[in-house]
Amino acid sequence: MDLFLNLVASGLVIGSIYGLIAISFAIIFKTTGVLNFAQGEVMMLIAYLSWSLGTSLALPFVALIVASIVISVAVGVLVERIFIRPMIGQPVFALVMVTIGLAVTLRSLTVLIWGPDAEPYAASIAGGIVEIGPVVLFSEQVFALALFAVVMVLVFAFFRYTRIGNAMRATAMDETCALLMGVDVRRISSMAWAVSAVVSGLAGVSFAIMFSRAPDLWFQGLRSFPAAILGGLDSPIGSGFGGLIIGVIGDLSEGYIGQGLKEISGFVVIIIVLMLRPYGLFGEKELERV
C-alpha cells in the first residue's frame, strides 16, 4: 500500500510537470491552431536563462520565479514575432514544420551556449522532506504540485473571466468573426505564445529544480504530448488533468510492471483513448444543433 501511495504521489508530481507543459501546448493550439513542437525546447531555453540569472545574481526564490515569468513572456513574444508571424497565411502544416525546425535549433543552441553538462539548479527551496502519512516528498516536489494547482486555477479564470481570455476563445471558434468584433487577432496570437511560454517556463524551472538543468530537458515536452492529446488539445484544463493521468500511469506501470514502461505507457494510453474518444477526454466536440 505504501508503495502504491508513493508511486501515485511521485506520479502526480511528474504529472503536474507534464500537465503544465500540456497546458502550454493547448493554449497555443486552441487560439492559433498551431501545434508547437518546440514547446519543450522553449521550456528548456527559459529554464536555462532562469538558471543563469539565478546562479549569477543569487536571487531569493520568489524573485527568481518572477524573473522567470518575465523571461518567459519575452521568449514567447520573440519566438512568435520572429518565427510565427511571418508565416501567417501559410498552411498550418508549414507552420508546424517551422516549430520542428525551431525545436532542433534551440536544442543545439542551448548546448552551444551552456555546454552539454548537467548542472544542479542552485536556487533550491528551503525545506527538505515533507511527510504526509506514508507519503514522503521533497519540498521541490511539493512546489511542483502547488504550482500546478495555482496555474490550473489561473488558466481557468483567465479563459473564463478576462477580456483577453475570452477573445482567445472567440478567436479559436471563429477567427473572422472575432475580427468583426474588433479583436486584433495578431495580438491575440502573440499573447497566446507569451502565456504558453510562461506556463511551460515555470514547468521547466520547477523540473530543473527537482532534478538538474540539463540539455535533455526538452524531452519532457515530448513526454507531455500524450497528456495534451489525452485531455483534448483544445482544452487547457483538460490537458492539465491529462498530465496528472499520464504521470500516475507512468509511475505505476514502471513500479508494478517493469523498468522502461514509464516512457511508453503514456503513448499506449493515448492510442487507446483516441480510439474511444478522438477529441480527447475533455476536448470540444463540434457543436451540432439537431
Query: Hey, what's the cell of 47?
Result: 529554464
> What minimum distance in Å lies between the beta carbon of 150 and another protein?
25
- Find, among 41, 50, 12, the residue nearest to 99 by Cα: 41
- Is the Cβ of residue 26 or residue 64 nearer to another protein in the bound state? 26
Q: How far is the CB of 184 from another protein (least distance, A)?
A: 5
Give the Cα separation of 156 and 60 in Å (integer).
Answer: 29
CB of 139 to another protein, least distance (A): 40
Beta carbon nearer to another protein, 119 or 175:
175
CB of residue 73 to another protein, shortest distance in Å: 22
**Residue 161 or residue 275: which is nearer to another protein going by CB?**
161
3-class SS letters over the chain: CHHHHHHHHHHHHHHHHHHHHHHHHHHHHHHHCCCCCCHHHHHHHHHHHHHHHHHHHCCCHHHHHHHHHHHHHHHHHHHHHHHHHHHCCCCHHHHHHHHHHHHHHHHHHHHHHHCCCCECCCCCCCCCEEEECCEEEEHHHHHHHHHHHHHHHHHHHHHHHCHHHHHHHHHHHCHHHHHHCCCCHHHHHHHHHHHHHHHHHHHHHHHHHHCCECCCCCHHHHHHHHHHHHHCCCCHHHHHHHHHHHHHHHHHHHHHCCCCHHHHHHHHHHHHHHHHCCCCCCCCCCCCCC
Distance, CA of 240 to CA of 232 (rounded, Å)? 10
Q: Which is nearer to another protein, 201 or 283 (CB)?
A: 283
With respect to another protein, which residue has the nearer C-beta, 91 or 133? Answer: 91
- Report the nearest approach of another protein to the CB of residue 287 (Å): 4
Residues that bind another protein (CB under 8 A): 89, 163, 166-167, 169-170, 173-184, 284, 287, 289
Between 55 and 166, name the residue whose CB sits nearer to another protein: 166
**Closer to another protein at the Cβ: 148 or 159?**
159
Least spacing, CB of residue 95 vs another protein, in Å: 15
Query: 174 or 216, CB closer to another protein?
Result: 174
CB of 241 to another protein, least distance (A): 19
Give the nearest distance from C-beta 284 to another protein in angstroms. Answer: 6
